[in-house]
Amino acid sequence: MITVKQMLAAANEAVPRVTPAEAMALAADPRTLLLDVRDAAEVQVSGKARGALNVSRGLLEFRADPESPAHDAAFDRERTILVYCASGGRSALAGRTLKEMGYGDVRNLGAFRDWVEAGGDVERG
């Protein structure tokens, strides 16, 4: 049996956490996929980082797997993937899942509010 705490610890070990400043530099590179794994209702309320792709955590595997009928072409194993959520937990778990799926360069920004508080651009609608 494994607990959420243990899962998060393993995910945080597997996926490096970046500062908001590092995240903004990475996001400026067109080879980076900025990925918001919050639910659509959360994004509707707060907006998302400008240019981010929103894929709720529950659909991630289906969108990231090239063999899935629901695959999103934005997922490319050659890209850096920078993932965030509301507090950092879902993004850590999502990052670990992506690494397990063969995505090599995955990083965790953590919380959307960290992006906002650091002056990151936000888009709404």
Q: What is the mean pLDDT of residues 59-74?
A: 98
**Angle, CA of 90, 72 and 88, to the nearest 5°:** 15
Q: What is the pLDDT of residues 82-98, one digit of tens each?
A: 999 999 999 999 999 99
Q: What is the pLDDT of residues 99-114, one digit of tens each?
A: 999 999 999 999 999 9
CATH number, position 113: 3.40.250.10
Q: What is the mean pLDDT of residues 19-27?
A: 95
Interatomic CA distance for residues 53 and 83, integer angstroms? 10
Give me the number of domains the chain comprises: 1
- The strand pair at 80-85 and 106-111 is best described as parallel
Q: What is the mean pLDDT of residues 60-79?
A: 97
Interatomic CA distance for residues 54 and 43, integer angstroms? 8
Q: What is the pTM of this model?
A: 0.94
Does the structure show a pLDDT above 90 at 125? no
Question: What is the domain extent for residue 110?
Answer: 4-123
CB 80 within 8 A of CB 32: yes
